[in-house]
Structure 1
């Protein structure tokens, strides 16, 4: 059974004598304890209700709220309880092998997994009462939740009569996750509730005026972490139908219930790879589930759940199953591991995460190497750090027997096992591999035998942004419209410069709208409404495609000539007209970094001016200069708020100087 303990006003109830005694027992010196006593010496408080405040009163227990030291002190205070529970022989947890799975602690969230509850629960209850008397941390039984996992009805009835806990029938909530007694109920208990909660958030946000990019950022920064929490902690299959339905609501929010103007495959890509970083929830789910695999390969002091998985697949090891064909795997495993393996089998080949010779495959517990199921027989090899295929293969090929004898002083008693291992390594290497066959990045993670930081983000990026630029539709479309295109090396430079062009959401959005071909041109409108009128808005009688409206139209040509003239007068840069620099933010190779920042802002203003004059018969150049002034004011305010005013002055000095000279000339 699960028991989630509720401590009455945990942080406010700590007895200070117990706090000081505990610090002393943990080995803190008298000077440190004196410092703590100084913080808690005769504090007073008062209660404010509206304009009225109560008289002051002394505070005699608890840890200070808002103090960064308080959580650390509480951890030290609560740990003796954990030690007492684990050390009590009459309190039984789930024992598998030599490991007892009994207790989970996260600050004041205490969860206990009990077996033999008729013996364990009374002893635990008595221990909690004694601890409450000593420490001041009293368990509230009426708010403590209990969940029956597999108790016989007569035992359950006896326990409910003797303990006034909240005996939950469906689930208990631990750190925001609803845990059920049956694995197959985890999805239905957690995900529909979360979807409903997030849908309500989207409905509330839809009432406000939020920019297009602002909506994408809101989804990424607020909705995604809530779903990612479930993705990481619940190894269960999810309903693709439910997920697609929720994604439709997200897209409806982003596009304000209108028809999308940009393909979502483009929006999903990372900003530095040609997109806007809109979360692809399905791929985030897969990344979160599979990011746990490198942790399973940790060999030195692995997490407890890895020990649990290894115990359930004996004589194999959990890590070995990921590098073995499905038919050779053990059928005895946890449902969580079985689910992870099914996802691995489905997606690892798609994204090429496995090389042909599987260097991360372990020697011990591997169904592909049957002699290794007897771990004791290979004790010498484990002691000498021969634990994986990688350790049997040099840069070019598997080691020869002579190499092992000469370099590792191979005992004669290990020669037969060496032949077994080298024969297996040769089979894994195979004829298809060459000197240049490297392990994949995922295999390198597993070979590190360590927990990988940012594993979910890194896995997700490999799934969401294929390196083939032909997958990005707007690249070819702009090339056709403008008659010129960029190289594969130039596009990443463009994306990086566009991303850094301005911190202002309105300006950043204007740049991306041009890049993504957001705007409805006459050619596109003619296809939508079937009216046959695809001529330019400005009356030049040419077909009004994207390249014409933005760059090739005679009125646009004159407008851009004036823009480039102004750039020359301000920055003293004689730039060659380039549509990718002017329209999409491609950095100029000859422009210094400081001038490039101001140039980015001027080009952003130029694009916004054309967008404001989209269906007008001409482009208002005065509006362009006003727009640059507007950007100047916004950048100035941002620099003051972010304490970067000196950098702002350095960037905008040419524009400020121009305005001052113009003012003096007018006088």
Structure 2
């Protein structure tokens, strides 16, 4: 239903994964309703584990289980023994089933059990009593472990003053740990999800954390439009550089129109002549300005002879205003992939100037005429007025002045800053 609304029942122009990806990861941030439902169940489980006192409904549900503890079963990932005379609510059953399926996507096997309270091991074995262990300060499974496995019993006696009479309990714990294949492996780098389970991230919202873990559980990979741009430009762009450019562009302006224009260009939405010729065989694939070259996306926005002079004027304008030289390359001017030496505030104003130019090109779509420099300056004035009003509403005047003072000085005719 959401996709039908977005695309107005027409074929989608980008992959569905690009719709769901966050803005900072090269997507549009459209909510994935199915993942939100699973994340809400995970968040409910997180709430159970991190709260010192369980909610009232949990006490009622615990009465339906043989071991009387749903939280320990969440930690241990074990099946919950249900009494014959009672049954859990459907919502709780969904929570338990989803917990095991979803956590397996972004956690290694038994990562949760390694960080679990020591009582979680008792949920896997009946009639094991660990009260004496808890009194001696062994509160979590991790306390028993070394990178090579469970600590030898003499070491536990020296470290925690465990009674030698607990040898049988130790052997049972060792057997459980070996059956579960619990292993610390690499040095501890607990994920935010595990830290939240342990109550160490009280300010982090559980639902947002779970949704992002489900959405981004795979290693970030390049989208098809990123690969196509690299092919067009004949260069390799690391995915971290893509993400930084997209994040910087998103944070540069309060205007959704600017962000929309950037997304439409980078994600290659535009129906340029070459794309139309592919959809409709026999259609003219030449540029509507020069009528000589193929009208590819890169040609329409960058290499057409009718548009290159405009970009040269913008390049000179940026140097006159900022006093620095921004490389006149398509990756800089179209994708906002700037050199590392360019200061952030300078890059932000550059983005505003480039977005005004690309919006002007977009507004002259299929027109043989190219935008003019006075038109770009007028659009920059409008953008400046919009950002000034937005800064007042969001109490961000300091950030506004640091980004736009060079433009105010330029329009007043004051001497621009000297180049390096």
Alpha-carbon deviation of 1:289?
0.6
> Could you say which residue in structure 1 is the equivalent of 2:138?
386
Alignment of 1:364 onto 2:119 = yes
Distance 1:323 1:600, change over 3 A: same
Q: Mean Cα displacement is larger for which, 350-359 or 510-519?
A: 350-359
- The correspondence of residues 228-627 of structure 1 with structure 2, limited to 5 A, is 248=1, 250-256=2-8, 258-298=10-50, 300-315=52-67, 317-322=69-74, 329-332=80-83, 333-335=87-89, 336-352=91-107, 354-355=109-110, 358-364=113-119, 366=121, 369-370=124-125, 373-374=126-127, 377-429=129-181, 434-436=185-187, 440-448=191-199, 453-465=204-216, 468-622=219-373, 623-627=375-379
Distance 1:643 1:420, change over 3 A: closer
Distance 1:587 1:466, change over 3 A: farther
- The correspondence of residues 133-212 of structure 1 with structure 2, limited to 5 A, is none
Distance 1:585 1:280, change over 3 A: same
> Could you say which residue in structure 1 is the equivalent of 2:387?
635
Alpha-carbon deviation of 1:626?
2.1
> Could you say which residue in structure 2 is the equivalent of 1:653?
405
Are 2:137 and 2:160, in contact at CA under 8 Å, matched by a contact in 1? no
Alpha-carbon deviation of 1:616?
1.6
Distance 1:644 1:329 in 2: 52
Q: Which has the higher strand share?
A: 1
Of structures 1 and 2, the one scoring higher in RCO (CA 8 A, sep 6+) is 2
Alpha-carbon deviation of 1:410?
1.5
Distance 1:613 1:300 in 2: 62
Give TM-score scaled by structure 2 length. 0.86
Distance 1:634 1:450 in 2: 37
Alpha-carbon deviation of 1:388?
4.0
Distance 1:423 1:648, change over 3 A: closer
Are 2:273 and 2:294, in contact at CA under 8 Å, matched by a contact in 1? yes
SS of structure 1 residue aligned to 2:286: coil
Distance 1:339 1:467 in 2: 24
SS of structure 2 residue aligned to 1:348: helix
Distance 2:16 2:57 in 1: 37
Unpaired segments ≥5 residues, structure 2? 415-420
Distance 1:310 1:287 in 2: 23
Distance 1:362 1:286, change over 3 A: same
Are 1:540 and 1:553, in contact at CA under 8 Å, matched by a contact in 2? no
Are 1:363 and 1:389, in contact at CA under 8 Å, matched by a contact in 2? yes
Distance 1:598 1:325, change over 3 A: closer
Distance 1:575 1:357, change over 3 A: closer
Alpha-carbon deviation of 1:446?
2.8
> Could you say which residue in structure 2 is the equivalent of 1:31?
none
SS of structure 2 residue aligned to 1:350: helix
Distance 1:343 1:521 in 2: 45
Are 2:73 and 2:80, in contact at CA under 8 Å, matched by a contact in 1? yes
Distance 1:529 1:631, change over 3 A: same
Are 2:145 and 2:151, in contact at CA under 8 Å, matched by a contact in 1? yes
Distance 1:554 1:299, change over 3 A: closer
SS of structure 1 residue aligned to 2:149: coil
Are 1:357 and 1:428, in contact at CA under 8 Å, matched by a contact in 2? no
- The correspondence of residues 9-88 of structure 1 with structure 2, limited to 5 A, is none
SS of structure 2 residue aligned to 1:292: helix
Compute the RMSD of aligned alpha carbons.
Answer: 2.9
Alpha-carbon deviation of 1:316?
5.3
Alpha-carbon deviation of 1:264?
3.0
Distance 2:318 2:43 in 1: 49
Distance 1:273 1:406, change over 3 A: same
Are 2:133 and 2:162, in contact at CA under 8 Å, matched by a contact in 1? no
Distance 1:471 1:590 in 2: 25
Alpha-carbon deviation of 1:588?
3.8
Distance 2:205 2:108 in 1: 17
Give TM-score scaled by structure 1 length. 0.56
Distance 1:300 1:576, change over 3 A: closer
Are 1:315 and 1:365, in contact at CA under 8 Å, matched by a contact in 2? no
Distance 1:339 1:510, change over 3 A: same
Distance 2:242 2:5 in 1: 30
The structure with the larger Rg is 1
Distance 1:643 1:321 in 2: 48
